[in-house]
Structure 1
Amino acid sequence: MTDLKTPAIVVNFKAYREVDGEGSLKLAKICESVSKDSGVTIAVCPPMVELGTVARAVDIPVFSQNADPHAPGSSTGWITASMIKSTGAIGTLINHSEHRFENNVISESVELAKADDLITMVCAESVKKAVSVSAYHPDFIAIEPPELIGGDISVTTANPLIIEDTVNSVKSVNKKISVLCGAGVKTGEDVAKAIELGSSGVLLASGVVKSKDPKATLYDLIKHI
């Protein structure tokens, strides 16, 4: 899998206990099954220790949760773009709200990832941040107000204007950048509203990972696409 077609559902596994060990592959297989049955793109971001296992086992887009601004070599403990590429993953998140970088680090991480032909998805907490990172020309920007992450109120309800403003502002810098949204997204209505507001899909985590029935949750998320 070498592309991320939109609209897309991107499921970040984070580091929840539910995806420890074999849990990551089990959830990724569920995502693959729903994606193939529905025709809707569902991408997954498993923990780094399971990235290669998942990427080699499923035929849906697989992303790393992070890429560090380090080239191959003496970089103990850091995650290089070439490592990610070698697992079979097609892209990476950068600057997630739980793994923030300064802008100069974001820029270098995007550049190194692109050099290894990885799709880059940079997270931003505000319209201002989204505009600033647009200058580095990532493939995707995911707008996620931090106060709503992990909560029960979707950004599409709590702050729909931030989605429209981000889409318009980012497109004014580079029309080729696609915008995703996240934070509190849990239902098909949330996804439909996000797309209506101009986003190319959603980035979410707990709504799927911690669901008692991830398959049913995924079908609900995509029912209006």
Structure 2
Amino acid sequence: MFVVVNLKAYPCDPVAVAEAAADVADETGVRIAVAPQAADISRVAETGVETWAQHVDAVDHGSHTGSTLAEAAAEAGAEGTLLNHSEKRLRLADIDGGLRAAERVGLESIVCANNPRQIAAAAALEPDAVAVEPPALIGTGTPVSQADPEVVTDSVEAADAVGDVDVLCGAGISTGDDLEAAAELGAEGVLLASGVAKADAPKAALRDLVEPIAE
């Protein structure tokens, strides 16, 4: 199982969370990545944790003020990027362009989507993985695997029908039980944020999260 911790723009210490994630990954053998703000990618990567960008733009070098260049993210230490999170929605052409930008510099990619229909469309663009996240459940503490498990199973079927694309489960993930449930429904990983980024003790939260699948 792959655990991606999206720090969004929460007022947490990204380095402290990254250090906690690196320690837990080393202790348990679970693959854990942290996605900080673009300005913090370098500092987070220096902790040794697998580091992802929250977004890259469909641009190359040139006149693109305010854009996140894939080359800059990779040079700062990012190994992958999220695209089309529900808080950073993109047009289909921009998702495709972002994926090509990520490929250009060797970044892995996860495209987020709201439901199985969107998962099918996202998978057709050939990212490394897709993540299903019903927006209504994000940040609620109620996981989609509990609120509407068919969203996960239908998303896995939709992705499988298109090609070899892993499906992650997001929205409301916060406990080891949530992670186990996602795995039982066919997900290859989870995408979460507040359950770790807002935790008083991020390391303990991560330990509790991955304990059911630790080596």
Q: CA deviation at 1:88?
A: 1.5
1:42 aligns with 2:32: yes
Give the deviation of 1:84 after TM superposition: 1.0
> 1: distance between equivalents of 2:104 and 2:199?
37
Whether 2:54 is the aligned partner of 1:65: answer yes
Q: Which residue of 2 aligns with 1:160?
A: 149
State the TM-score, normalizing by the size of structure 1. 0.93
C-alpha deviation, 1:207, in angstroms: 0.5
How many residues in Structure 1 have an aligned counterpart in Structure 2?
213
- 2:110 equivalent to 1:121: yes
Among candidates 184, 198, 201, match of residue 213 of structure 1: 201
Deviations 1:151-202 (A, max 9, x none): 0211110011111110111011012x11101101111000000011100110
Residue-by-residue CA offset, 1:59-100 (whole Å, 9 max, x unaligned) = 231100001111111111100111111112111000011000
Determine the C-alpha separation between the residues in 2 that align with 1:25 and 1:205: 15
Cα distance, 1:58 vs. partner? 2.3
2:82 aligned partner, one-letter code: L
Show the counterpart of 2:189: 201
For normalisation by structure 2, the TM-score amounts to 0.97
Q: 2:178 aligns with which of 167, 174, 190?
A: 190
Residue deviations 1:102-127 (CA, integer Å, cap 9, x gap): 11110111111111111011000111
Letter in structure 2 aligned against 1:157? Q
Q: Residue 93 in 1 paired to residue 82 in 2?
A: yes
Looking at structure 1, the residues matched to 41 and 144 of structure 2 have their Cα atoms a distance apart, in angstroms, of 28
Secondary structure, counterpart of 1:128 in structure 2: helix
- Aligned partner letter, 1:163: V
Q: CA-to-partner distance for each residue in 1:125-150, whole Å, 9 max, x for gaps?
A: 11111101111100010100000000
Equivalent positions of 1:94-113 (< 5 A) are 94-113=83-102
Please list every run of 5 or more consecutive structure 2 residues that lacks an aligned counterpart in the other structure: none
4+ runs deviating over 2 angstroms: none
In the alignment, structure 1 residue 178 sits paired with structure 2 residue 172:
no
Where does the alignment leave 5 or more consecutive residues of structure 1 unmatched?
1-6
Identity in percent: 39
Give the SS at the match of 1:17.
coil
